[in-house]
């Protein structure tokens, strides 16, 4: 405070990076943000924070911010700065012409997990009631859509079962496909505290993440599986639990469908699912698999935490269901210290999913084909809704290439960088007649846009975010928007330009509408959030104070449902041309494609993406630490510097995807989860050879 001077005022708000949802005190001098101080009363962080929330906010005032709307007739022309009225009437005219010529289903939109619940709700409302289609999707398509599918099938709702504090009652913590230390650092600290108190740790990950061995922590088991074999590992663990008589039969008889359990138990008991047989597939020693399964089943309260290393696979949904099976067969659901917990990546990915951002679901995960639900929304919105589920992001791009999908409104998402198979994304965008990008910066996707609507940062708006523990928290305006409007106001003005009669005066009124239409949010209001700090959904008549733990007296779907999940190898195969498997992840100081963090001081900690390679593989190729290497796959190539490490096993390489110069997704495949189309980012057959640099 001495150095920067005393702040003149402070505003309590919520971090806009990861799904932990830390609360901060934003200290201001005039209109200048001078410091972000982790807030001691924040329910998710209790005064803690990481280097992103604390230091990476400089992007809000970065010179790259676009603050004036821009349009152009074709993507070959330069941008023209115009007034908001001109931009909105240009956009409305294009959208109306496309709708008249090709029909409502030629239009769609993408909501943002970086934006508030109120903003994502408005974008899906605009697509459904203004464009007239259900072609709305969100970035969860490329991250946690298998969580939605898998947990809905088994438990009945798409969300983690526990609050963060629950980890302090866990006796065994199983982390699969997640790197909490880098991805969810503040929650990782709480998990580490519990581990230092003596809880046992099982890590299932191809890479030796920090958690495996950190000060005063040593994992009981690290299972360094072959990328793409999660289902085989989990099935082998289930085999051990059932065949060794470790199943929690009383829990299963009371809480789950017993007939379905027996079918599933017969399936996993088959000898072909034994650790000894599956060792050849998983490359995890059978004895380690057996011991890890015994520990999880008999070690007391068992809590599972997972991330994108589970979901971003061709069997992502199967893996989520296999995790849920494991929790049910051991009775590890419905109380503190147990459960199944997806570690959500983006600050509001839980909220974006809750708000009806999927093409088949209205808010609260209710299917669009359900006439009773639809009529509720139709009465509130005063317009009929399409009963057919719409297109997912990859299907929108396919349809664009085919000429049947012509316009898209993308709020706060750089799909050219973040989605797989970059060349196909570019081809889809290029084929459209109207691409509207609503964002802070001229991102890579904007190269294919006809309209650029300037966005606002979390510091410039009021609203709510929902974190990974279903905690709804207020985001409060710290400074006036650089572009003059909050994102919810821009969407409202676009709706008005299309002839819709929207008259929200404040995001609290949007939340009131969400509460009227969404049973799990029925008891949520800005007034309650102001008074109580936060609420964990469901908040309604049955749960007036919210729900830190879910499925306490019974599963949301009634009886828990065991799902048979057969291991199916990915179609992505290694061979002589591409003998290595690439997997990807994040680093602590950077965030996703880096649009925000790269424009902050955090670049001092991470200036480029590096390729981790085992010493044997490096030596075979004549590569040393720091050398440039060419990374090639069947879909593309890129150049990165090598770091030689035994964190990865021989045959596996690893990189992050934070820098556009690297464009790691140029090499990822077109394969995706069988149920949700979530891309298989985590398994790509590649070759790595020396290079002179980019
Ligand atoms: Fe907290 Fe996540 Fe923000 Fe870090 S990035 S301060 S852990 S919410």
Q: Please give the number of the atom of ligand 1 that sits closest to the Cα of 24.
A: 6
DSSP state, residue 347: T
Radius of gyration from C-alpha coordinates of the chain: 24
DSSP state, residue 198: T
Which domain range does residue 149 map to? 145-342
Position 390 pLDDT exceeds 60: yes
Position 332 pLDDT exceeds 60: yes
Q: Please give the number of the atom of ligand 1 that sits closest to the Cα of 21.
A: 8
Taking the alpha carbons at both ends of the chain, their separation in whole angstroms is 43
User: Which pLDDT does position 422 carry in this prediction?
Assistant: 79
308 in the same domain as 426? no
User: In CATH, what number is assigned to the domain containing residue 378?
Assistant: 3.40.50.740
Query: Of 342, 362, 387, which one is at a domain's C-terminal end?
Result: 342
Per-chain mean pLDDT for the chain:
92
Question: What is the separation of C-alpha 582 from the centre of its chain, rounded to a whole number of angstroms?
Answer: 20
- The pLDDT-based confidence of 681 (bands split at 50, 70, 90) is confident
Position 605 pLDDT exceeds 70: no
Kindly give the distance from the C-alpha atom of residue 666 to the centroid of ligand 1, in angstroms, as a whole number: 28
Read off the tokens for 209.
């993440």
Count Cβ atoms below 10 Å from residue 590 Cβ, excluding itself. Answer: 27
Kindly give the distance from the C-alpha atom of residue 192 to the centroid of ligand 1, in angstroms, as a whole number: 16
The model's pLDDT over 144-176, given as tens digits with 9 standing for 90+, comes to: 889 989 999 999 988 899 999 999 999 999 999
Kindly give the distance from the C-alpha atom of residue 169 to the centroid of ligand 1, in angstroms, as a whole number: 23
User: In CATH, what number is assigned to the domain containing residue 670?
Assistant: 2.40.40.20
374 in the same domain as 301? no
DSSP state, residue 453: E
Kindly give the distance from the C-alpha atom of residue 518 to the centroid of ligand 1, in angstroms, as a whole number: 28
Kindly give the distance from the C-alpha atom of residue 629 to the centroid of ligand 1, in angstroms, as a whole number: 33
Cα atoms found within 13 Å of the Cα of residue 359, Cβ hemisphere only: 23
Could you give the number of structural domains in the chain? 3
Q: Please give the number of the atom of ligand 1 that sits closest to the Cα of 54.
A: 6
| Of 314-323, 588-597, 662-671, the least confident | 588-597
CA distance 671 to 606: 30
Position 83 pLDDT exceeds 80: yes
Kindly give the distance from the C-alpha atom of residue 47 to the centroid of ligand 1, in angstroms, as a whole number: 11
Q: Is residue 19 part of a domain?
A: no
Tell me the mean pLDDT in the region 521-550.
96
Indicate which residue's Cα is closest to atom 3 of ligand 1: 53
Kindly give the distance from the C-alpha atom of residue 25 to the centroid of ligand 1, in angstroms, as a whole number: 13
Read off the tokens for 17.
């990076």
Q: Is residue 62 part of a domain?
A: no
Q: Is residue 560 part of a domain?
A: no
Indicate which residue's Cα is closest to atom 2 of ligand 1: 18
Read off the tokens for 474.
């207020």
Task: For CA atoms 327, 330, 332, 337, give the dihedral sign.
Answer: negative
Q: Please give the number of the atom of ligand 1 that sits closest to the Cα of 184.
A: 7
If one residue of 13, 16, 22, 345 were mutated to test the ligand 1 pocket, choosing by the most ligand atoms within 8 A of its CB, it would be 22
Q: Give me the helices (H) in 184-222, please.
A: 185-196
Q: Please give the number of the atom of ligand 1 that sits closest to the Cα of 17.
A: 5
327 in the same domain as 261? yes
Position 664 pLDDT exceeds 70: no
The model's pLDDT over 439-483, given as tens digits with 9 standing for 90+, comes to: 999 988 999 999 999 999 999 999 999 999 999 999 999 999 988
**Quick one: 117 exposed, middle or buried, by C-beta within 10 A (0-12, 13-18, 19+)?**
buried
233 in the same domain as 151? yes
The model's pLDDT over 16-60, given as tens digits with 9 standing for 90+, comes to: 888 999 999 999 888 888 889 999 999 999 999 888 888 778 777
174 in the same domain as 129? no
Kindly give the distance from the C-alpha atom of residue 131 to the centroid of ligand 1, in angstroms, as a whole number: 35
Kindly give the distance from the C-alpha atom of residue 113 to the centroid of ligand 1, in angstroms, as a whole number: 15
Strands (E), 125-267: 136-138, 172-176, 200-204, 213-214, 217-218, 221-223
Q: Please give the number of the atom of ligand 1 that sits closest to the Cα of 186.
A: 7
- The pLDDT-based confidence of 609 (bands split at 50, 70, 90) is confident
- The pLDDT-based confidence of 418 (bands split at 50, 70, 90) is confident
Indicate which residue's Cα is closest to atom 1 of ligand 1: 22
Indicate which residue's Cα is closest to atom 6 of ligand 1: 53
- Omega of the bond leading into 538 within 30 degrees of 0 (cis): yes
| Of 283-297, 413-427, 431-445, 633-647, the least confident | 413-427
Kindly give the distance from the C-alpha atom of residue 43 to the centroid of ligand 1, in angstroms, as a whole number: 13
Query: Of 308, 342, 376, which one is at a domain's C-terminal end?
Result: 342
CA distance 470 to 389: 25
User: Which pLDDT does position 355 carry in this prediction?
Assistant: 96
Q: Do the beta carbons of residue 222 and residue 190 sit within 8 Å?
A: no
Length of the chain: 694
Q: What ipTM did this prediction achieve?
A: 0.99
Position 663 pLDDT exceeds 80: no
CA-to-CA dists, residue 583 to 23, 188, 210, 405, 607, angstroms: 32, 22, 16, 32, 20
Q: Please give the number of the atom of ligand 1 that sits closest to the Cα of 467.
A: 8
Tell me the mean pLDDT in the region 109-126.
96
327 in the same domain as 213? yes
Ligand 1 pocket: which residues have CB below 6 Å? 15, 17-18, 20-22, 45, 49-50, 52-53, 185-186
Q: Is residue 33 part of a domain?
A: no
Query: Of 316, 342, 368, which one is at a domain's C-terminal end?
Result: 342
177 in the same domain as 266? yes
Kindly give the distance from the C-alpha atom of residue 551 to the centroid of ligand 1, in angstroms, as a whole number: 27
If one residue of 13, 14, 16, 17 were mutated to test the ligand 1 pocket, choosing by the most ligand atoms within 8 A of its CB, it would be 17
SS3 for 415-426 is HHHHCCCHHHHH
Question: What is the separation of C-alpha 126 from the centre of its chain, rounded to a whole number of angstroms?
Answer: 23
Count Cβ atoms below 10 Å from residue 582 Cβ, excluding itself. Answer: 26
The model's pLDDT over 235-258, given as tens digits with 9 standing for 90+, comes to: 999 999 999 999 999 999 999 999
Helix axes 258-269, 316-329, angle to 10 degrees: 110
Q: Do the beta carbons of residue 507 and residue 574 sit within 8 Å?
A: no
Kindly give the distance from the C-alpha atom of residue 160 to the centroid of ligand 1, in angstroms, as a whole number: 18
Q: Do the beta carbons of residue 109 and residue 393 sit within 8 Å?
A: no
Contacts of 660 (CB under 8 A, 6+ apart): 417, 444, 593, 594
Kindly give the distance from the C-alpha atom of residue 205 to the centroid of ligand 1, in angstroms, as a whole number: 23
Consecutive H or E run containing 581: strand 580-585
361 in the same domain as 305? no
Task: For CA atoms 201, 246, 334, 160, give the dihedral sign.
Answer: positive
Kindly give the distance from the C-alpha atom of residue 24 to the centroid of ligand 1, in angstroms, as a whole number: 10
296 in the same domain as 444? no
Q: Please give the number of the atom of ligand 1 that sits closest to the Cα of 53.
A: 6
Kindly give the distance from the C-alpha atom of residue 185 to the centroid of ligand 1, in angstroms, as a whole number: 7
- The pLDDT-based confidence of 599 (bands split at 50, 70, 90) is confident
Q: Please give the number of the atom of ligand 1 that sits closest to the Cα of 16.
A: 3
User: Which pLDDT does position 196 carry in this prediction?
Assistant: 95
Indicate which residue's Cα is closest to atom 4 of ligand 1: 50
Ordered strands of the 463-466 beta sheet: 463-466, 471-475, 534-536
Higher pLDDT, 366 or 586: 366
Tell me the mean pLDDT in the region 362-366.
95
Q: Is residue 327 part of a domain?
A: yes
If one residue of 13, 14, 15, 164 were mutated to test the ligand 1 pocket, choosing by the most ligand atoms within 8 A of its CB, it would be 15
Q: Please give the number of the atom of ligand 1 that sits closest to the Cα of 51.
A: 4
Q: Give me the helices (H) in 572-629, please.
A: 615-620
Position 544 pLDDT exceeds 90: yes
The model's pLDDT over 491-532, given as tens digits with 9 standing for 90+, comes to: 999 999 999 999 999 999 999 999 999 999 999 999 999 999
Kindly give the distance from the C-alpha atom of residue 117 to the centroid of ligand 1, in angstroms, as a whole number: 18
The structure tokens 């591409």 sit at 578
170 in the same domain as 121? no
If one residue of 54, 185, 187 were mutated to test the ligand 1 pocket, choosing by the most ligand atoms within 8 A of its CB, it would be 185
User: Which pLDDT does position 604 carry in this prediction?
Assistant: 62
Of the chain, the percentage scoring pLDDT greater than 90 comes to 77
- The pLDDT-based confidence of 1 (bands split at 50, 70, 90) is very low
Q: Please give the number of the atom of ligand 1 that sits closest to the Cα of 49.
A: 6
DSSP state, residue 129: I
If one residue of 19, 50, 51, 592 were mutated to test the ligand 1 pocket, choosing by the most ligand atoms within 8 A of its CB, it would be 50
Exposure class string for 359-389: b at 16+ Cβ within 10 A, else e = bbbbbbbbebeeeebbebbeeebeeebbeee
CA-to-CA dists, residue 256 to 261, 327, 328, 407, angstroms: 7, 12, 8, 45
CA distance 230 to 182: 21
User: In CATH, what number is assigned to the domain containing residue 231?
Assistant: 3.40.228.10
Kindly give the distance from the C-alpha atom of residue 588 to the centroid of ligand 1, in angstroms, as a whole number: 10
Position 271 pLDDT exceeds 60: yes
Question: What is the separation of C-alpha 32 from the centre of its chain, rounded to a whole number of angstroms?
Answer: 31
305 in the same domain as 163? yes
Consecutive H or E run containing 472: strand 471-475
181 in the same domain as 286? yes
């Amino acid at each position: 405070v001495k150095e920067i001077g005393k702040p003149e005022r402070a505003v309590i708000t919520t971090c806009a990076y990861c799904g932990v949802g830390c609360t901060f005190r934003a200290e201001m001098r005039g209109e200048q943000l001078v410091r972000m101080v982790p807030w001691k009363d924040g329910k998710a962080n209790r005064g803690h924070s990481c280097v992103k929330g604390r230091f990476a906010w400089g992007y809000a005032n970065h010179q790259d911010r676009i603050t004036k709307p821009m349009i152009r007739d074709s993507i070959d022309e330069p941008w023209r700065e115009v007034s908001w009225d001109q931009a909105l009437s240009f956009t409305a005219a294009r959208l109306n012409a496309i709708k008249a010529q090709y029909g409502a289903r030629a239009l769609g939109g993408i909501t943002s997990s970086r934006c508030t619940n109120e903003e994502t709700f408005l974008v899906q409302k605009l697509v459904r009631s203004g464009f007239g289609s259900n072609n709305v999707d969100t970035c969860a398509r490329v991250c946690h859509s298998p969580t939605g599918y898998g947990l809905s099938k088994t438990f009945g709702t798409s969300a983690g079962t526990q609050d963060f504090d629950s980890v302090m009652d866990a006796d065994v913590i199983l982390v699969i496909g997640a790197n909490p230390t880098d991805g969810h650092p503040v929650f990782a600290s709480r998990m580490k505290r519990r581990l230092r108190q003596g809880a046992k740790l099982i890590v299932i990950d191809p890479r030796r993440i920090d958690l495996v061995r950190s000060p005063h922590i040593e994992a009981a088991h690290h299972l360094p599986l072959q990328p793409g074999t999660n289902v085989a590992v989990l099935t082998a663990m289930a085999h051990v639990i059932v065949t060794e008589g470790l199943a929690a039969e009383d829990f299963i008889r009371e809480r789950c469908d017993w007939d379905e359990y027996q079918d599933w138990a017969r399936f996993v008991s088959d000898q072909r699912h034994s650790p000894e047989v599956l060792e050849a597939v998983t490359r995890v020693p059978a004895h380690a698999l057996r011991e890890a399964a015994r520990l999880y089943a008999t070690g007391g309260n068992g809590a599972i935490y997972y991330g994108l290393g589970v979901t971003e696979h061709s069997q992502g949904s199967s893996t989520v269901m296999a995790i849920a099976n494991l929790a049910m067969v051991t009775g590890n659901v419905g109380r503190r210290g147990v459960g199944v917990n997806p570690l959500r990546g983006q600050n509001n990915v839980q909220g974006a999913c809750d708000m009806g951002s999927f093409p088949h679901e209205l808010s609260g995960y209710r299917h669009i084909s359900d006439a009773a639900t639809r009529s509720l929304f139709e009465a509130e919105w005063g317009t009929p809704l399409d009963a057919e589920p719409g297109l997912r992001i990859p299907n929108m791009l396919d349809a664009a290439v085919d000429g049947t999908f012509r316009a898209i409104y993308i709020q706060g998402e750089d799909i050219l960088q973040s989605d797989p198979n970059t060349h196909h994304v570019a081809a889809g965008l290029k084929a459209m007649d109207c691409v509207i990008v609503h964002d802070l910066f001229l991102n890579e996707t904007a190269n294919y846009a006809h309209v650029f609507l300037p966005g606002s940062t979390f510091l410039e708006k009021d609203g709510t975010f929902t974190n990974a523990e279903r905690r709804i928290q207020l985001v409060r305006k710290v400074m006036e928007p650089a572009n003059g409007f909050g994102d919810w106001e821009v969407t409202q003005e676009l709706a008005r330009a299309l002839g819709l009669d929207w008259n929200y005066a404040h995001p609290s009124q949007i939340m009131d509408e969400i509460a009227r239409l969404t049973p799990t949010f029925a008891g949520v209001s800005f007034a309650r959030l102001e008074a109580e700090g936060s609420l964990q959904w469901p908040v309604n008549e049955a749960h007036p104070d919210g729900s830190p733990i879910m499925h306490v007296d019974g599963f949301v779907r009634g009886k828990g449902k065991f799902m048979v999940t057969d291991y199916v190898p990915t179609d992505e195969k290694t061979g002589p041309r591409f003998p290595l498997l690439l997997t990807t992840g994040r680093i602590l100081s950077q965030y996703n494609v880096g649009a925000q963090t790269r424009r902050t001081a955090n670049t001092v900690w991470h200036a480029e993406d590096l390729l981790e390679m085992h010493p044997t593989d490096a030596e075979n190729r004549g590569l040393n630490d720091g050398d440039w290497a060419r990374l090639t796959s069947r879909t593309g190539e890129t150049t990165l510097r090598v770091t030689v490490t035994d964190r990865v096993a021989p045959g596996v390489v690893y990189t992050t995807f934070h820098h556009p110069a690297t464009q790691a997704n140029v090499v990822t495949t077109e394969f995706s989860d069988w149920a949700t189309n979530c891309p298989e980012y985590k398994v790509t057959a590649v070759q790595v050879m020396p290079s002179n640099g980019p």
